[in-house]
Amino acid sequence: MSRIEQIISDIEAYLDSCKFQPFSNTKLIVDKEQLEDYIEELKLKTPVEIKKYQKIIDNKDAIIKEAKEQADEILNAAQAQTEKLMNEHEIMQRAYASANELIEQATAKAQGILDNAIEDANNIRMGAVSYTDDMLSKLQYIIEHSINDNKQQYGSLISGLEEVLSVVNNNRRELNAKDEPVSEQETAEHN
């Protein structure tokens, strides 16, 4: 398991351990600093993971270089052998045929190695991109849900505080109204 996967697993475990908001079974109470710490750690680890996959992709060049060197060695050996055998006509014809065969084999082998290396490198690169996108998608999901939950929680809190403020204002108006002299009409209404 990569460090990014571990951090995401830690975030999921942390969210599972959070208490639900009173009277809700979908909204959680989260420690903002704790969640920000996880997100910061993800930001720090993501470039490291991408560099690790980049090193794997960079190995493609080494494989291709080695294949080309092997092909060059085989070609050089074939050319050297061809030049050696050019002294006699019969030997020269056999050497030419043999050299061509070696060149074809070397070219085919080099092309096969090169094709495999390119295919492997492309698969590794696509895997790394897919993996990183998957990890970022999970992180995006967690952050979006955290934002939405916090918006709803703070919206509920503000709404509740506004209701309490309204009650306090009404109570103060009633108290201030009682301090004013009561008219005979208001006395009659209360009786």
Q: Is 26 a member of any domain?
A: yes
Helix axes 3-17, 89-179, angle to 10 degrees: 20
Does pTM top 0.85 for this prediction?
no
Q: Is 178 a member of any domain?
A: no
Q: Which domain holds residue 156?
A: 3-170
Q: Is 185 a member of any domain?
A: no
Most confidently predicted of 16-20, 59-63, 129-133, 134-138: 16-20
The label of the residue with tokens 């709404």 reads 159
pLDDT interval class at 90 (50, 70, 90): confident
Q: Which long-range contacts (CB under 8 A, 24 or more apart) does 128-137 make?
A: 128/50, 128/53, 128/54, 128/56, 128/57, 131/49, 131/53, 132/46, 132/49, 132/50, 132/53, 135/4, 135/5, 135/8, 135/46, 135/49, 136/46
Q: Is 177 a member of any domain?
A: no
The first and second tokens of residue 169, run together, are 């204002």
pLDDT of residue 152: 82
pLDDT of residue 166: 93
Other CB atoms closer than 10 Å to residue 117's CB: what's the count?
Answer: 19
Give yes or no for a contact between 43 and 132, defined as CB atoms under 8 angstroms apart: no
Residue 102 clears pLDDT 60, i.e. is over it = yes
Q: Is 28 a member of any domain?
A: yes
Q: What average pLDDT does the segment 159-169 reach?
A: 91
- End-to-end Cα separation, the chain, in angstroms: 79
Residue 179 clears pLDDT 70, i.e. is over it = no
Q: Is 182 a member of any domain?
A: no
pLDDT interval class at 191 (50, 70, 90): very low
pLDDT interval class at 182 (50, 70, 90): low
pLDDT of residue 168: 92
Q: Is 70 a member of any domain?
A: yes
Exposure string for 58-74, b = 16+ CB within 10 A, e = fewer? eebeebbeebeeebeeb
Tell me what the pLDDT averaged over the chain comes to.
82
Q: Is 187 a member of any domain?
A: no
Answer with the residue of higher pLDDT: 21 or 178. Answer: 21
Q: What are phi and psi of 26, to 5 degrees?
A: -125, -20
pLDDT interval class at 85 (50, 70, 90): low
Kindly give, in sequence order, each residue whose CB lies less than 8 Å from that of residue 131, ignoring residues fewer than 6 positions away: 49, 53
Q: Number of structural domains, the chain?
A: 1
